[in-house]
Amino acid sequence: MDRRGLYLAIGIVGAIFGFAASMVSIYLVQICGHIQTATVTKTVTITVREGSEVKVATPFIGADYYDFARFLIESAKRYVYVMVTDIESGSGPWSKPYVLLHELCSLRRKGVDVRVLTSYSAYQMHPQAIEYLQRCGVQVKLWASCGSLWSLSASLVIVDGKAVIIGSQSWTDRDLAHSVGAGIEMYSDRIAAELAKSFDELWSGNCVVIPPHQ
């Protein structure tokens, strides 16, 4: 990934996050000596003129990451790359983490290239989720300690070289169902391609390992 492409992606994400933050009102109410927080969440879709790097960008702050991720994953025709800090199978078949894993498996059965890069600690804490993906043919790799880079901290979905979601939530019940997060969905061929290239470099590098089949 060349520096101009990286700076472009960072600049666009930063600018749109700034705009999104301005659209969110947080009210702190002092009641009986305790601070209660009420959050008004708003998503804003920005359509960028033809010829720009980003065609459509939707920043969000709140609990919308799951809906954006599921919709984008379901639209995949060629590939889905996921990079996420933690991943679990959820508390039941209707839990949000389980639904996302099920969608990945459904795509894999249709011949879509599905890859998941997560942290080694995710495998240690939630091996069932990794094993579930492996059984349905999804490729999974774990980030191992690599020099001074001890851990993986990311929430990224790339689909078909055309769209990405960059968020802050892991694929766990706590994050997807009970946490406020910030993120952005972007439709941009160039940014998606640049991030896919960087993902491939990590995927093929010496800092990742394949989890054993149990």
Higher pLDDT, 188 or 23: 188
Weakest mean pLDDT among 4-8, 73-77, 146-150, 202-206:
4-8
Say yes or no to pLDDT of 28 above 70.
no
| 55: in domain | yes
| 61: in domain | yes
Confidence at residue 16, expressed as pLDDT on a 0 to 100 scale: 46
Please tell me the pTM assigned to this model. 0.77
| 125: in domain | yes
| 133: in domain | yes
Q: Of 109, 112, 58, which Cα lies nearest the Cα of 80?
A: 112
21 pLDDT band, cuts 50/70/90, is very low
Q: Map tokens 């059965």 to a residue.
A: 109
Say yes or no to pLDDT of 64 above 80.
yes
Say yes or no to pLDDT of 1 above 80.
no
CATH number (domain holding residue 176): 3.30.870.10
Report the C-alpha dihedral over residues 141, 90, 98, 135, rounded to 10 degrees: 50
Please state, in angstroms and rounded to a whole number, the distance separating the CA atoms of residues 11 and 150: 26
| 72: in domain | yes
Q: Map tokens 């890859």 to a residue.
A: 115
Say yes or no to pLDDT of 184 above 50.
yes
Number of domains the chain is built from: 1
| 174: in domain | yes
Phi first, then psi: what are they for 111, rounded to 5°?
Answer: 95, 5
Domain that holds residue 8: 3-209
| 214: in domain | no
| 67: in domain | yes
> Are the CB atoms for 200 and 117 separated by under 8 Å?
no
